[in-house]
């Protein structure tokens, strides 16, 4: 199930380019030689972290009687 969500990306200029992270998602961080590369790398890191967390959740719920549904959060 794919949903659209908004996150806050933070890009910090450093000597060798940019470091980047998502404020709302611990563990989603990366770097890039320039802003464009940092943005691209950050999207890839976010996709990977969400994918792995979903896999882990599915494994932990395997065989359990649960209800899974999308939830919309507006901040």
Percent of the chain with pLDDT over 90: 81
Percent of the chain with pLDDT over 70: 95
For 1-75, where are the alpha helices, taking DSSP H only?
35-61
Backbone φ and ψ for 32, nearest 5 degrees, come out as: -160, 155
73 or 51: whose pLDDT is higher? 51
pTM: 0.82
3-state DSSP assignment of residue 17: strand
Backbone φ and ψ for 43, nearest 5 degrees, come out as: -60, -40
Answer whether 28's CB lies under 8 Å from 21's CB.
Answer: yes
Tell me the per-residue pLDDT of 3-23, one tens digit each, with 9 for 90 and over: 678 899 999 999 999 999 999
How many of the other CB atoms lie within 10 Å of CB of 37?
15
Any idea where the domains of the chain sit in the sequence? Answer: 9-61
């Amino acid at each position: 199930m794919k949903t659209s969500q908004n996150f806050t990306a933070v890009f910090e200029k450093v000597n060798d380019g940019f470091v980047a992270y998502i404020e709302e998602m611990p563990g989603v961080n990366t770097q890039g030689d320039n802003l464009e590369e940092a943005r691209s790398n950050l999207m890839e890191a976010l996709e990977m972290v969400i994918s792995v967390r979903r896999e882990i959740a599915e494994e932990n719920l395997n065989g359990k009687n649960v209800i899974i549904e999308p939830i919309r959060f507006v901040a």
